Structure 1
Amino acid sequence: MTTGPIRNHVLRMMSFMLVGMLTQTLYALVDIWWVSRLGKEAIAAVSVASNLMFVVLAVSQTLGVGVVALVSQAFGAKNERQVQYLFNQAQAQSIAAALLFLLIGYAGKDYYAARLAGDAITAGLASQFLAWFIPAQSLLFLMTGLGSALRGIGAMKPGLIAQVGSVLLNMLLAPFLIFGWLGAPALGVAGAALATFLATLSAVLGLVWYLGRASTYLRIDWAQWRPDWALWRRMLSIGLPSGAEFLIMSLILGLIYWVIRPFGAEAQAGFGIGMRIMQAGFMPAVALSFAVAAVAGQNYGAGHHQRVRQSFTESAKLNIGFMLLFTLVCQLAPALMMGWFSSEPTVVTVGADYLRYISWNYVASGLIMVAAGVFQGLGNTLPSLLASASRLLSFVLPVLWLAGREGFQLHQVWIASAISVGLQMVLSLALLRREFRRKLTAPGAG
């Protein structure tokens, strides 16, 4: 990706990433669509429990971003031995993280459900869902270790095939395990999580099988699994700011679930469905972020600084087009999309209002993601973290103040969120411009 048109490389990487991300989003959409047949408490329970996914994303990003940055730079410099070593170190690191998350998750799942759920019924259902959702999320660390190295060398197809296969299996298993079709156990919300666990496990096993047979020089070498603490610290130092961004996102979502508890399970269910729809629409921006990280990283490693700048420009143009289209859809037909997942009027109204207000920040959110991808490619994600942390001041504090006032309404939360994202975009782009001046040669010189 160090030669040829930048836009073509970005679009190629994005196309693979987009299909993969869409399949991951389908996990959430399939779960919520089937679970909605169990009632608003079940929807709220799965929504509250699934917020834990952002904690997983925070940790997996911490692991994966450093791997992508270092592998793409080593690959761009044609250092195959270093790429192989980084790959094996990444596997050891991801397995350690998976085991730690599994232990902590099971120890705190009941407390987590009780603190965020709007009522006792919702809390009980959330705990049931987490019993299988936690091990399913643990497997995502293994997917990160395998997929990040492949993404760093530009090999997108294996991960895509694994993800598509797993989502198809999830779609097949979910109704049987939720409702007990054809004699299968009727597990309710727990069945949705079990289906996700089995599907994710199949994806991990598929990638391991591929690496054992493929011609790529990425090979599992147990001798290289002994922790290289200096390298681990380096990978984590690159990935930690990016992971912290997802942790901040998890905290913000947790705050929202907490402040809207007085409005009941209907409000939490409406917000949960609206979030799933928004996440689905954001997939082009997320895919662009991952794509530009690899493209910028390889060109930065090869010393092609002007191409790094071009990778941001081309990705930003594509992002604006995608996000404007999604904004228009959410302005014109939010209730129609909500109606696919729930027939309860209050749930639909809450979700539709959320989408209508929050869609005003879609373009800004997409630009933030693209900038974050470039920061990853440059190997410095701290500026992106600083921009995300700004929302702790511009969103969290105002919402806590509003929630304590008489006459507090849900739409005030959505407006505060949209404004805070706009401010974050301004800061993120300013920091990216500063990073370009610090690390890249003048246009035309690199």
Structure 2
Amino acid sequence: MAQTASPNDLLNGDISITLRRMTVPVIFGMMTMMTFNLVDSFFISLLGTQPLAAVSFTFPVTFSVISLSIGLSIGTSAVIARIMGEGKKDRAKLYATAALYLAAFLVMVLSVFGYLISRPLFSAMGASDAIYTIIMEYMTVWFAGSVLLILPMICNAIFRANGETKLPSYVMAGAGLVNAALDPLFIFGWGPVPEMGVRGAALASVVSWSLASVFIFYMLGVRQKRIYAVPNQWQLTKKAWIEIGRIGLPAAGANMLTPLAMGVMTAIVASYGEPVVAAFGVGSRIESIGCIAVLALSMTLPPLISQSFGAGRIERIEQAYRVCIRFTLIWQAVLAVVLALLSPYLASVFSDDPEVQKVLQLYICIMPLGYGLQGVVILANSSFNALHKPLNALILSVVRFFIFFVPFAYIGGLMFGVYGLLIGAVVGNVCTAVIAWRWFNKTVRGMAPAPLPS
């Protein structure tokens, strides 16, 4: 009876039911947030092809900061969940506080650095002077508010480490709703609010992050008392930073390979012209929604794995991973068919430029063919991090992007143009998925639980 008393118990009960309980709210929150991000792309597209291309150029850079946030949230969740699996609740509270301070400092440093190297960075990606001017209208505001983006993400990781996913999902959904509501007001202006163009899109995001930060800090710190105002034990705080950083920084590095690969791909795509860059930018956002179930599982599977590892339940780890992979392959196969059928409509919604529509439709028909295999890699990465093996995840990411994904896409583009580039990217995901599946299962079968340092 004691084992099932908590509604957020991750160590007992049916794994499929537990994952469904945790994942459905996350899917709802992410779907709402990402749908409103597509609304953001829609309003920007009304400004013309150039502004849409300019914002597309920002994705690798903004995702670098987001990747650091994701990496630190992975480290936070893995360490705190394992501590909770061992029953050390007071230490979990201190580690949660330390994680927030560490994340805020690192994101501020990265944002300042990103701002200082903006000119050579975007020029290297192929942005013209005219496009660069528009880019910086967006990025100046975005960099200034970037800390307000990461703090709710770390707070959400703390909730998930404790098996709670509903509240973080509502926060994500609410922030997306506020962002979407403010987009047309700030982009096009109304009444006393001036027209701000792409700068307004960035400002809408910052305002929504600010509101999310205030709310989730109140819930986490005041209502649930899961964090302190400031770390109260300096030696243990330093230890927390080391343990979180040991997982979070390699995980951030692995996640940062995504924008790095996106940057290389953007430079390749830029050689085909601005309409193709614009199409790839919109396609990337559609891809985010297409992979939403996998991304949600990559957030909810790790706490279950980490708590199970802390409690010595290795067999539960194997079962949970297999359940997630089976679901991912079936779900993404069905979704690929649906997206292919909807591709003409989706292409016409996001642009009235015939060239953009043509490339975007091609993207939507081809890239989803590899989403299920991409999901296998994503879940292997998140599970490696949950097992406190972040270097495995980092190596797997390097293999995916720079041995398979980018080289295969580049070779395909040389041989068959945009069509070959897309096919090459899909083949790269297939090859990496085979390696990920075999490596993770071999790792789990050969491991024994090891206690977290006291």
TM-score (norm 1): 0.93
Residue type of the alignment partner of 2:11: T
Distance (whole Å) between structure 1 residues aligned to residue 82 and residue 397 of structure 2: 25
Residue type of the alignment partner of 1:32: S
Quote the offset at 1:382 in angstroms.
2.1
User: In the alignment, what sits opposite 2:367?
Assistant: 358
Given that residues 178 and 188 in structure 1 are in contact (C-alpha distance below 8 angstroms), is that contact kept between their aligned partners in structure 2?
yes
Pick the aligned partner of 2:186 from 173, 177, 180: 177
User: In the alignment, what sits opposite 2:421?
Assistant: 413
Given that residues 371 and 429 in structure 1 are in contact (C-alpha distance below 8 angstroms), is that contact kept between their aligned partners in structure 2?
yes
User: In the alignment, what sits opposite 2:330?
Assistant: 321
Residue type of the alignment partner of 2:419: H
Please tell me whether residue 347 in structure 1 is matched to residue 356 in structure 2. Answer: yes
User: In the alignment, what sits opposite 1:438?
Assistant: 446
% same residue: 23
Given that residues 300 and 308 in structure 1 are in contact (C-alpha distance below 8 angstroms), is that contact kept between their aligned partners in structure 2?
yes
Q: CA RMSD in A?
A: 2.0
Please tell me whether residue 272 in structure 1 is matched to residue 272 in structure 2. Answer: no
Quote the offset at 1:172 in angstroms.
1.3
> Within 5 Å, which residues of 2 pair with 1:248-259?
248-259=257-268
Quote the offset at 1:140 in angstroms.
2.2
User: In the alignment, what sits opposite 1:444?
Assistant: none
User: In the alignment, what sits opposite 1:393?
Assistant: 403
> Within 5 Å, which residues of 2 pair with 1:29-428?
29-224=38-233, 228-390=237-399, 391-400=401-410, 409-428=417-436
Distance (whole Å) between structure 1 residues aligned to residue 372 and residue 26 of structure 2: 19
Residue type of the alignment partner of 1:119: S
Distance 1:322 1:186, change over 3 A: same
Identify unmatched segments of 5+ residues in structure 1. Answer: 442-446
Residue type of the alignment partner of 2:86: A
**Alignment length (residue pairs):** 439
Distance (whole Å) between structure 2 residues aligned to residue 177 and residue 225 of structure 1: 44
Q: Secondary structure at the match of 2:224?
A: coil
Distance (whole Å) between structure 2 residues aligned to residue 347 and residue 224 of structure 1: 56
User: In the alignment, what sits opposite 2:28?
Assistant: 19
Residue type of the alignment partner of 1:69: A
Given that residues 91 and 225 in structure 1 are in contact (C-alpha distance below 8 angstroms), is that contact kept between their aligned partners in structure 2?
no
Given that residues 69 and 378 in structure 1 are in contact (C-alpha distance below 8 angstroms), is that contact kept between their aligned partners in structure 2?
yes
User: In the alignment, what sits opposite 2:452?
Assistant: none
Q: Secondary structure at the match of 2:386?
A: helix
Residue type of the alignment partner of 2:375: G
1:285-310 residue CA offsets vs partner (Å, 9 max, x unmatched) = 00011111011111111112211111
Which stretch has the larger CA shift, 172-181 or 235-244?
Answer: 235-244
Which stretch has the larger CA shift, 369-378 or 290-299?
Answer: 369-378
Distance (whole Å) between structure 2 residues aligned to residue 267 and residue 286 of structure 1: 26
Q: Secondary structure at the match of 2:191?
A: helix
Q: Secondary structure at the match of 1:182?
A: coil
Distance (whole Å) between structure 2 residues aligned to residue 224 and residue 146 of structure 1: 20
Quote the offset at 1:165 in angstroms.
1.9
Q: Secondary structure at the match of 2:446?
A: helix
Given that residues 158 and 210 in structure 1 are in contact (C-alpha distance below 8 angstroms), is that contact kept between their aligned partners in structure 2?
no
